[in-house]
């Protein structure tokens, strides 16, 4: 395989997906406008927002002197994280000048040198696949959400971000090479992927709709022979939960999951293991008994039916966006 070298920020297409998140998207675009090296293109995907976001974005991006140079791609409905990003990636793949793509959550604010550092790391990989940033909780007293990406437990299907809860200063002293070697996946909140990797391994799997699609992509990239890396100098501040509507339980803590998000993570975990590590499925399903006990301890016994539905849908391949038009589904997944 020919090694991709010399990718710079000027060769990169950036993708931001907005869904009812204008309050986050505009500051993110402002941070992108302040990047030290301007990217080749910026595409904002409006994922079928019904709150006026698309209209406001259209006006803002067209306003002279806004400082933001981006294209707006409007989708008719909410296609989820994978579908929204894939819509922009298909568009960018037609542009041969785009040699890499930066998937960036709309609820993030990257430091000015974040993209340059990602490109430098990607170029340094033996077979450039994807690399991630140091994600720091916005307003979380300098605490880390994720160092590049994370690990997948191949027996239970649980994904764990590297360095979660660490002090950012301590994380920046770690060896980027050693962190990169441990990555099973790059966190989708800030993920730079080489064009050659996308062309060979394919786009994100839209069956997931939301959650675990970056984990599955990392597995697929690794199996296709690509390397994953961590860009030590790429710092991205992340308001975790802002892009999904989850609310933080306290400053610096993880977001409180709604029933809808709980369903998606439980369903997608089963689907991922069925697809990538089917030998472990019996153990994964058995582990849901422990999950059920924990839900009861937290006073969430009313979610046991949701858990059973999620596991069954993952097993039987009932994937994509949940059908909320079904009365049983709609009632079961209300926040």
What is the C-alpha to C-alpha distance for residues 221 and 217, in angstroms, rounded to an integer?
6
pLDDT score recorded for residue 68: 74
pLDDT, mean of residues 48-60: 92
Q: How far apart are CA 229 and CA 48, in angstroms?
A: 33
Residues near 251 by beta carbon (within 8 Å), at least 6 away in sequence: 139, 140, 141
Pairing of the two strands 71-75 and 128-137:
unpaired
What share of the chain has pLDDT > 90, as a percent? 84
Question: In the structure, what pLDDT confidence band is assigned to residue 332 with cuts at 50, 70 and 90?
Answer: low
- Chain CA centroid to CA 154, Å: 20
| Domain boundaries, given as residue ranges, for the chain | 9-238, 257-332
Question: In this structure, what is the dihedral angle of CA atoms 155, 161, 163, 166, given to the nearest 10 degrees?
Answer: -120
Q: Find out whether 273 and 284 touch, Cβ atoms under 8 Å.
A: yes
Could you give the CA distance from residue 190 to residue 106 in angstroms, rounded to a whole number? 10
Q: How confident is the model at residue 126 (pLDDT cuts 50, 70, 90)?
A: very high
The CA distance from 333 to 75, in Å, is 24
Q: What is the tens place of the pLDDT at every residue in 252-269?
A: 444 567 899 999 999 999
Residue 228 makes CB contacts below 8 A (sequence gap 6+) with 125, 129, 130, 131, 132, 148, 149, 180, 183, 184, 185, 186, 218, 221, 222
Residues facing residue 18 across a β-bridge: 46
Dihedral sign of CA atoms 93, 96, 100, 105 in order: negative
CA 133-84-332 angle, to 5 degrees, is: 100
Whether residue 140 is predicted with pLDDT greater than 80 in this model: the reply is: no
pLDDT at 64 over 60: yes
pTM for this model (two decimals): 0.91
Is the pLDDT confidence value at 97 over 50? yes
Query: 16-50, pLDDT tens digit by residue?
Result: 999 999 999 999 999 999 999 999 999 999 999 99
The CATH class given to the 9-238 domain equals: alpha beta
Question: Residues 214-228: pLDDT tens digits?
Answer: 999 999 999 999 999
pLDDT of residue 10: 97
């Amino acid at each position: 395989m020919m090694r991709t070298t010399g990718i710079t920020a000027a060769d990169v297409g950036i993708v931001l997906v907005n869904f009812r998140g204008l309050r986050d998207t505009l500051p993110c675009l402002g941070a992108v406008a302040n990047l030290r090296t301007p990217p080749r293109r910026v595409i904002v995907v409006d994922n079928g927002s019904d709150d006026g976001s698309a209209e406001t974005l259209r006006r803002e991006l067209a306003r002279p002197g806004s400082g933001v140079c981006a294209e707006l791609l409007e989708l008719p409905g909410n296609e989820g994280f994978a579908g929204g990003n894939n819509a922009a990636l298909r568009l960018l793949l037609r542009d041969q000048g785009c040699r890499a793509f930066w998937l960036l959550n709309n609820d993030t604010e990257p430091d000015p040198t974040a993209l340059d550092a990602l490109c430098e790391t990607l170029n340094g990989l033996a077979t450039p696949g994807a690399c991630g940033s140091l994600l720091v909780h916005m307003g979380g007293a300098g605490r880390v959400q994720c160092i590049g990406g994370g690990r997948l437990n191949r027996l239970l299907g649980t994904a764990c971000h590297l360095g979660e809860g660490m002090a950012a200063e301590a994380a920046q002293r770690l060896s980027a090479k050693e962190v990169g070697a441990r990555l099973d996946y790059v966190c989708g909140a800030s993920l730079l992927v080489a064009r050659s990797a996308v062309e060979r391994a394919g786009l994100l799997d839209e069956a997931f709709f939301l959650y675990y699609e970056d984990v599955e992509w990392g597995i697929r990239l690794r199996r296709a022979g690509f390397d994953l890396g961590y860009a030590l100098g790429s710092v991205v501040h992340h308001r975790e939960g802002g892009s999904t509507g989850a609310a933080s339980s306290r400053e610096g803590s993880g977001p409180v999951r709604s029933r809808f998000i709980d369903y998606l993570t439980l369903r997608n975990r089963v689907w991922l293991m069925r697809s990538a590590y089917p030998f472990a499925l019996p153990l994964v399903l058995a582990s849901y008994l422990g999950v059920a006990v924990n839900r009861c301890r937290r006073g969430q016994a009313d979610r046991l039916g949701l858990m059973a539905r999620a596991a069954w849908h993952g097993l039987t391949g009932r994937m994509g966006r949940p059908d909320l038009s079904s009365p049983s589904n709609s009632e079961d997944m209300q926040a």
